[in-house]
Structure 1
């Protein structure tokens, strides 16, 4: 069973007709690692924001251990590149 499951997720920001991400699917099991590489503007941060629950996908579904991701949760941690206070 997948620990993290992304099922055909898409992300589109208001006022922008082009999707940032389209039809992304992936499954990660326990002890698996995901590395997001790409040029600036390719959607890496958007993908992480979706997984963290900071942003809802415009289409598709994200689950963590079978539970839908519907916003930030104490069960998920985010370490920012720069210092940040929440």
Structure 2
């Protein structure tokens, strides 16, 4: 029952994120959730193609690319092929 309850709560949070927040927020939330621990390296390796990540975040691949470029332009992240470096986690 506990596992089922946790799964339902996760799904409700997922629905909230997809409906109440914009695409930039969803991407940043995904990156921070993937990173999670400040002791780990600040580089996130994308294990899936960008179009799959875009689908997971409910955005078009073009929108995902645009958001990634904007975050890189703001020097919040750095893009390295299939890796994303979190440059300024606090921001």
TM above 0.5, yes or no, is no
Larger Rg: 2
- Which TM-score applies when normalising by structure 1? 0.29
Q: Which has the higher helix share?
A: 2
- Which TM-score applies when normalising by structure 2? 0.28
